[in-house]
Amino acid sequence: MRKHLRKLLPDHQAILANRWLAPFGNTLLHPRLWHLNRRSAAGAVAAGLFCGLIPGPFQMIGAAICAVIFRVNLPLALFTTLYTNPLTIVPLYLVAFTLGKFSLGELGSGSRFTAPPDYGEAGLLAWIGQLADWMAGLGRPLVLGVALLATLLALLGYFAMRLFWRLYLIRAWRRRAHLRGMRTA
């Protein structure tokens, strides 16, 4: 399992060669941020899934901060945030809005979901302002729903990764036992 994931993830030397990350070298060199086992992988997936719902370009920053705080695999946490993109963010926020309305007991009320603002030519700061206004207009159901959905996705991702890793190990153990049996026979 580890060798399959290592093919997809960058090594720490490539990231440390980046001039923007050089000031954080001591923090980013912590061995647990680069170690890949079932605990660090499950925690990284949970952190990435949780931070993936952060609006705007702050998803990877949030995932990196969570990876450093919880000492889980940094590249996998960053990679996992990519489940949100321009095609998936609106359906995810619609689910979050509905979940928030359901948890507040407002599922039958008249407020409706409106699409988030497009990133236009006005620039990043203008878009962030429009996004904040959009979120304030949707109010409590969206904020609560995003927090609940992020937590739910993180929990599901954590336990799914643990289960997937465990099933992979059981399969590998059985394959090795079968090969040992073939050699002795």
DSSP per-residue codes, 18-35: STTTGGGHHHHT-GGGT-
Query: Cα separation of 157 and 50, whole Å?
Result: 9
Asked if residues 126 and 166 have their Cβ atoms less than 8 Å apart, the reply is no
Tell me 16's DSSP state: H
The tens digit of pLDDT for each residue in 118-154 reads 777 778 888 888 888 877 767 788 889 999 999 999 9
pLDDT band at 110 (very low <50, low <70, confident <90, very high): low
Mean pLDDT, the chain, integer: 84
What's the Rg (C-alpha) of the chain?
20
- Residue 106 pLDDT: 77
Asked if residues 142 and 97 have their Cβ atoms less than 8 Å apart, the reply is yes
The tens digit of pLDDT for each residue in 73-82 reads 988 999 999 9
- Residue 52 pLDDT: 95
Sequence letter at residue 25: G
Instruction: Give residue limits of the domains in the chain.
Output: 2-107+118-184
Q: In this model, does residue 112 exceed pLDDT 90? A: no
